[in-house]
């Protein structure tokens, strides 16, 4: 029995070694990398061989190179990756190469029995910029996602930019099917993290704006008062300077006093305006951050994670 298995393995490796030459002959660099990979594989240095085959495949994606790369990954225990490569190669092989097709099909079928199946049910695959990874591999988003994976702990993650909607790990055995049900995330519109609380910002802007208006009014009143005072004490209106001070007729004197009072009002308005501007700036600077609401979901529950300054 053991001798038969070893003989089959030897024949399979020989078939893989014999197949790729026609695919790499047209590409010198790819051919050299491919030959180096084959030598490394014969020496059981499969990690190094895989690297050479991958480089060769990037230059010339020949079916033979893909088969060798698949064989290399299988030796490393990367069964799911090897299965995908064998399966892809089989679909690419032309109908007139029946031997190669059977070989790729047989290797893929043998590997499939070692793998587990993951099914991911996504309730709303049309969510903007939705991404899904299965066992660390990004997959195409759809309502029902099926992926063959290596046995062991399987992590499924569903996310949108900046938000992880779903993350769960399950153990998968060879031949088993493991189902992940993604809960529908709560749709919550929030301001970007770090944004100031909206109501506090509005108040600070209103206060500062009022302060600016008062300051401007104070300046205008001051200018008017200065004009009225200068007009009241104009010598042409009977005012003159003496050792006792400014002497004006009673009417002009009262106008000067009124202008001084108006100037005091302007000064007061300016002082209050400046204080309001400073207060508005302080209100804005000390405004607490808005709460950040992050939707969280699992296959059994859904909720919101809330963070921020309280």
Q: How many CB atoms lie within 10 A of CB 294?
A: 18
Q: What is the pLDDT of residue 6?
A: 35
Q: What is the pLDDT of residue 307?
A: 45
| Inter-CA distances, 28 with 57, 69, 179, 228, 286, Å | 12, 18, 46, 97, 67
% of the chain at pLDDT higher than 90: 43
Is the pLDDT at 183 greater than 60, yes or no? yes
For domain 116-181, which architecture applies?
A: Sandwich (2.60)
Is the pLDDT at 138 greater than 50, yes or no? yes
% of the chain at pLDDT higher than 70: 74
Q: What is the pLDDT of residue 243?
A: 63
Is the pLDDT at 144 greater than 90, yes or no? yes
Structure tokens at 101: 């097709």
Is the pLDDT at 235 greater than 80, yes or no? no
Q: What is the pLDDT of residue 166?
A: 93
Higher pLDDT, 41 or 270: 41
DSSP string, 77-105: T-HHHHHHHHHHHHHHS-TT-HHHHHHHH
Dihedral through CA 129, CA 130, CA 136, CA 140, nearest 10?
-100
Tell me the CATH number for domain 2-112.
Answer: 1.25.40.10
In terms of average pLDDT, the best of 172-181, 222-231, 272-281 is 172-181
- List all residues 6 or more positions away from 133 whose beta carbon is below 8 Å from its beta carbon: 139, 155, 156, 157
C-beta separation of 251 from 193 below 8 A: no
Is the pLDDT at 180 greater than 50, yes or no? yes
pLDDT digits (tens, 9 = 90+) for 206-231: 877 887 888 888 798 778 878 877 77
* CA-wise closest residue to 167 among 16, 44, 297, 25: 297
pLDDT digits (tens, 9 = 90+) for 12-49: 444 454 454 444 444 688 899 999 999 999 999 999 99
pLDDT digits (tens, 9 = 90+) for 47-61: 999 999 999 999 988
Phi, psi of 300 (to 5 degrees): -115, -20
pLDDT digits (tens, 9 = 90+) for 87-128: 999 999 887 788 888 999 999 999 999 999 999 999 999 999
Q: In what order do the strands lie in the sheet with 163-172?
A: 137-139, 131-134, 152-160, 163-172, 292-297, 302-307
């Amino acid at each position: 029995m053991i001798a038969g298995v070893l003989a089959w393995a030897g024949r399979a490796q020989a078939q893989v070694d014999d197949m790729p030459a026609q695919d790499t002959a047209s590409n010198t660099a790819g051919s050299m990398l491919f030959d180096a990979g084959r030598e490394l594989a014969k020496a059981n240095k499969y990690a190094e061989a895989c690297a050479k085959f991958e480089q060769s495949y990037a230059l010339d994606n020949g079916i033979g190179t893909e088969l060798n790369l698949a064989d290399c990954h299988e030796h490393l225990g990367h069964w799911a990756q090897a299965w995908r490569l064998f399966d892809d190669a089989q679909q690419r092989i032309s109908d007139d190469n029946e031997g190669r097709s059977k070989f790729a099909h047989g290797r893929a079928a043998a590997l499939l029995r070692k793998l587990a199946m993951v099914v991911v049910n996504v309730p709303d695959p049309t969510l903007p910029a939705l991404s899904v990874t299965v066992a660390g591999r990004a997959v195409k988003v759809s309502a029902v996602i099926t992926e063959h994976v290596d046995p062991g702990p399987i992590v499924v993650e569903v996310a949108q930019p900046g938000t992880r909607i779903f993350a769960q790990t399950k153990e998968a055995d060879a031949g088993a099917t493991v189902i992940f049900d993604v809960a529908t995330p709560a749709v919550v519109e929030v301001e970007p993290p770090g944004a100031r609380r909206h109501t506090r910002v509005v108040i600070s802007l209103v206060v500062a704006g009022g302060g600016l208006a008062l300051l401007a009014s104070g300046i205008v009143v001051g200018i008017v008062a200065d004009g009225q005072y200068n007009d009241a004490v104009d010598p042409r209106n009977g005012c003159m300077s003496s050792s006792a001070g400014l002497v004006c007729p009673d009417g002009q004197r009262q106008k000067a006093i009124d202008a001084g009072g108006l100037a005091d009002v302007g000064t007061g308005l300016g002082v209050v305006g400046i204080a309001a501007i400073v207060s508005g700036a302080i209100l804005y600077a000390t405004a607490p951050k808005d709460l950040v609401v992050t939707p969280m979901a699992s296959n059994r529950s859904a909720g919101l994670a809330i963070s921020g300054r309280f």
